[in-house]
A = this chain, B = another copy of it.
Amino acid sequence: MTTTSGGLREFDLLEQTWRHVTPDTARRLLIAASQAFADRGYHATTTRDIASLAGMSPAAVYIHYRSKEELLFQISKIGHELSLAVLTEVQGDDPTQVLANAVSSFARWHAEFHNTARVVQYELSALTPEHHAEVVELRRRIEAEVRNVIEAGVETGEFDVPDLRGATLAVLSLCIDVARWYQPGGKRSPEQIGDLYADLVLRMLRPAA
């Protein structure tokens, strides 16, 4: 049973994202770090902030993670994998349905899990070159997933796009940017944002009259 209180609801969503991380203390540190990184940014967050949010001493961080950057990498990697999974799990009878579900789910994910999404989308440059490369490969697969759905719709004649890669870029960009402007207390729920965006994207790709 989840509560409806703002702060606790936020915490529940973070718990949901990181539920597979063990042991318990390592998970609490990841949750604290993703909260802090999303709120203040990676560089503005101190290891003392993270430890304090997790209710521990500053030194406790280094029992479970080698460095502050390793904490960022875990969040970024798992976050990318989750957002990719959201896309690969999408179903539908035809490209129109599949794309509508993909956009709806992907945009909704960036709203609902905007904390994780912000770290995923805006802290790439703080990763070490090796970790950055690993994450870029996941991003390539996310882009390919969306491009393939649009391409399938072009082949059936359901979509009409002048520039496949350009359209893919725009669709992804639209969904990703939700993480920037979304606010939990706002007038649109994550579900409503997903519906709105699925509709707008289908309008954008439909053939002319």
The chain A residues found within 8 Å of chain B, CB to CB, are 40-41, 43-44, 121-122, 125-126, 162-163, 166-167, 169-170, 173-174, 176-178, 180-181, 188, 196-197, 199-201, 203-206, 208-209
Beyond A40-B125, A43-B44, whether A204 also contacts B200 by CB under 8 A is: yes
Identical subunits present: 2
Beyond A122-B122, A177-B173, A177-B177, whether A196 also contacts B163 by CB under 8 A is: yes
Q: What are 7 A-B pairs with beta-carbon distances under 8 A? A: A166-B196, A170-B197, A173-B178, A173-B181, A174-B177, A208-B209, A209-B209
Q: What's the Cα separation between A123 and B68 when bound, in Å?
A: 21
> A181 and B200: CB pair below 8 A?
no
Q: What's the Cα separation between A166 and B198 when bound, in Å?
A: 12
Which of chain B's residues has its CB closest to A197's CB? B170
> B204 and A126: CB pair below 8 A?
no
